[in-house]
Amino acid sequence: MATLLSSPLHATGPTDRRPVLVVEGAIGPDLAAQCRTLSLDVVIAGQPVPPLAACILAGSATAGSVRAGLAPPYCGFIELGPEGIVGIGMRCLETARAGGLTLSLQTITAYRLETLEYLVEAIRGYISEMTAESAELMDISLAEAISNAVIHGNLGIPSHLRTTTEGFAQFQRLLHKRMADPVVAGRRLEINIAPRSKDLIMVAVSDQGAGFDLAKKLEHTAAATAKNGRGLNLIRRATQTVHGEDGGRTLVMTFAR
Amino acid sequence: MQFRVKDEGTQVHVALDGQLNFAANEDFQALLSQLGALKGKKVTFEMSGLSHIDSVGLGLLYIAREDLAESGSSISLAHPRDNVFRMLELTEAHKTFEIQR
């Protein structure tokens, strides 16, 4: 674990912190070069970090490592893929810099791990003053946004397949086929959480898929007994505000504290 | 997600555990196959062990309901946690499913 000179998550001082990648084990030359390109400090776990460091744990993603990264003294976790941190969104570093919580996983990892559980747990610790109702609505919206980002965003699987038992079986076959493609399975799912004001929390869920027109999708209201198509409307009902960025690859939601 | 099925004559209890979401696929496929063999039963999904549900998971419940209706069986949802019940309310699923709290 890194030797911290300041608490990245809970300090109330300056919000412009310096993101530092904390890596268990050795730092390879590729990762070092990638970090230099991004002007991102990288240290081996246990080494001292600079003052006002926002330490992000980076490494192989397991239940233990992701949970560790989402709890103090860290302010997030970045999965190191076969190509290091190539492909991570700058939003992760901006969130860390602003005192928020960040998570970047490959799609296959987000699918295999209990990603939502870890985030819900972390959010409870991160935003202690949030009401139970707000926390509940945030959980529901986050579950929905992660599902959309993985299935429709990164895997590009349409929702209309899941309307019958046979369609569901077809959906599964397609899911396994897409997951077997390392390029598709390596696309990132990123969740960034940060205070927007004293009353609002912002949660952004990003994927690396083809994007979509959020406003158009929100016009569609699923019938009460429909087996798909109710996800975005659920998010609209559960959030204070919702909008799309990056051509629909990032869903930005706000919640009352 | 894990499930356990307990057949008690005309009543069948299905206890769900974990998360019923986009990743619950194989497990739910196995459950659908098992429920497909039932005729004229009252099936209760015990949801107290379910920590989260998303709209993919809810869609699976609608598929189960339709499959069961075709074989003359009915479905009800029992004891969802507050967050799960809230999701069912927000999606108006409580208008379609009988929900025991």
- Look up the CATH number of the domain holding residue B40: 3.30.750.24
Phi, psi angle pair for A49, to nearest 5°? -120, 160
Number of domains in chain B: 1
Contacts of A151 in chain B (CB under 8 A): 22, 56
* CB distance A58 to A80 below 8 Å: yes
Percent of chain B with pLDDT over 70: 99
> For residue range A87-104, what is the model confidence (pLDDT) as tens digits?
999 999 999 999 999 999
Reading across the β-sheet that carries B74-78, which strands appear in turn?
Answer: B2-8, B11-20, B42-53, B74-78, B98-100
CA end-to-end span of chain A = 31
pLDDT value of residue B58: 92
Residue range B33-40: mean pLDDT, rounded: 88
Contact B22 A151 (CB under 8 A): yes
pLDDT value of residue A204: 98
* CB distance A127 to A137 below 8 Å: no
For chain A, which domains are there?
1-99 (no CATH), 130-257 (3.30.565.10)
Residues 6+ apart with CB under 8 A from A166: none
- Measured from the Cβ of residue A9, the count of other Cβ atoms closer than 10 Å reads 21
pLDDT value of residue B100: 95
pLDDT value of residue A12: 39
The first and second tokens of residue A38, run together, are 């991004």
pLDDT value of residue A244: 94
pLDDT value of residue A226: 60
pLDDT value of residue A50: 85
Contact B21 A151 (CB under 8 A): no
Domain extent at residue B21: 2-100
Contacts of B97 in chain A (CB under 8 A): none
CA distances in angstroms from A174 to A57, A148, A158, A160, listed in the order given: 33, 16, 10, 13
Provide long-range contacts, Cβ within 8 A and 24+ apart, for A110-116.
Answer: A110/A146, A110/A150, A110/A189, A111/A150, A111/A179, A111/B22, A111/B23, A112/B23, A113/A61, A113/A62, A113/A63, A113/A66, A114/A63, A114/B19, A115/A66, A115/A146, A115/A189, A116/A142, A116/A143, A116/A146, A116/B19, A116/B21, A116/B52
**From first to last of its 257 residues, what are the pLDDT tens digits of chain A?**
333 333 334 433 446 789 999 998 889 999 999 999 999 999 999 999 988 899 999 999 999 999 999 999 999 999 999 889 999 999 999 999 999 999 999 999 999 999 999 999 999 888 777 888 999 999 999 999 999 999 999 999 987 766 788 888 888 899 999 999 999 999 999 999 998 888 899 999 999 999 988 877 777 665 655 655 678 889 999 999 999 999 999 999 999 98
Contact B22 A147 (CB under 8 A): yes
Contact B55 A234 (CB under 8 A): yes
Contacts of B55 in chain A (CB under 8 A): 144, 147, 228, 230-231, 234
Nearest CA in chain A to B87: A140
Contact B54 A226 (CB under 8 A): no
Contact B36 A165 (CB under 8 A): yes
Contacts of B93 in chain A (CB under 8 A): 224
